[in-house]
Structure 1
Amino acid sequence: MRIFGVILAGGEGRRMGGVDKALVPLAGRPLIAHVLDRLEPQVERVLISANGDPARFAGFGCSVLPDARPQGPLSGVLAALTLAAELGATHVVSTPVDTPFLPGDLVPHLLLAAENAPEGLAIASDETGDHPATALWPLGLAPALAEFLGSGEARVLRFAEAHHAARARFPDARAFRNLNTPDDLAAAEALIRGTA
């Protein structure tokens, strides 16, 4: 089993003032660096899904994949599945760029949950609900995902449910907290500094 990770950094960051969310500073480092720190030890290789100038990610040592057709997170997942297949991987674990508190046991939990999924797809879940953009994707789902996106559909949870995704339950609801607004960023800063 060879598992790659992909950080989904293609969002427009509208609620953050239209900035490149991946590069927004959190505790003195770009947001993407925090996600990379959490994901990299758990996978063989990390990819970054992002459109625009890939040079802005040059310092992170990851291949940058543009979307063939930008349709949200699933376009990034499909690009990662396509490259991962060429490089001999068996699975891809995706996560958004604005989740700096990912659990250190994310991948093992997703793998365990996937054992009970008929197509091997597992999504993260906690007491607040599902977090379908944080998921384990077997490479065999790439054709179905391409067809789904080709139909004009792009909702992650709809695809996950259509393919009988298992839920990997995590106890800490903060692990998948998305930083969508300046207030979210301030709360994350306080958490990191131990003042929350």
Structure 2
Amino acid sequence: MPTAITGVILCGGQATRMGGNDKGLLPLHGKPLYQHVADRLQPQLTTIILSANRNLAEYRQAYPAYTDTFPGFAGPLAGILTGLQKSETEWVAFVPCDVPFLPTDLIARLWSGRQQAAAVYAHDGVRAHPTLCLLHRRIAQPLEQFLQRGDRKLMLFFEQAEAQAVYFREQPQAFQNINTPSDLQERTR
């Protein structure tokens, strides 16, 4: 494994299913969602940055935060492009802000399962979780070209980049995300 990997927490979504509330800042057990993700990532990485498109002052109290460098709302791929461009390390890991129980060995397993690929992503054995991924910075240019063509589908980009899936069949619950107010309420019980 390389000595330095940057982690990017994707907090830039519109959160339409959350009533437009900034999902990363919603409290779970007294902490914002993104902080739960950061706490699980911190031991696995050298640096954490955030991709956020609003509430930057609040996010920047804890970590460097950057808005999308690609114009218009282009979804998670825009946040991934920004993270690749802002990272100072060759390898960059990405996770969404709404997966507070992500595996504590996510980065090591993605690294060991990459088989020389420049892109790897998590799969729970039933579903792909492409926003939990590890990418080499050389992916940035083809990703920017993909976005410039108007494409927005993450799995389509990963197919073109010959990304490898890394399986976490024994812990599918680690990938449960919080998308709606009822999801959040269920986790606070």
**Percent identity for Structure 1 against Structure 2:** 38
- Aligned 1:10-21 pairs, distance under 5 A: 10-21=12-23
Is 1:63 matched up with 2:64?
yes
Deviations 1:16-64 (A, max 9, x none): 121111111101111111001011111110110011241011331x111
Letter in 2 for 1:113: G
Tell me by how many angstroms 1:116 deviates.
Answer: 5.0
Deviations 1:98-148 (A, max 9, x none): 00001000001100111253xx21000013310001100101111101100
Report the equivalent of 2:164.
166
Equivalent residue pairs, number: 184
- Aligned 1:1-196 pairs, distance under 5 A: 1=2, 2-60=4-62, 62-68=63-69, 69=71, 70-84=73-87, 87=88, 89-117=89-117, 120-170=118-168, 171-190=170-189
In structure 1, distance between residues paired with 2:126 and 2:98: 17
| Structure 2, unpaired ranges of 5+ | none
| Structure 1, unpaired ranges of 5+ | 191-196
SS in 1 for 2:188: helix
Question: Contact (CA 8 Å) 1:101, 1:177: kept in 2 or not?
Answer: yes
In structure 1, distance between residues paired with 2:11 and 2:55: 12
In structure 2, distance between residues paired with 1:111 and 1:158: 21
Cα RMSD, aligned residues only? 1.2
Give me the TM-score of the superposition, normalised by structure 1.
0.90
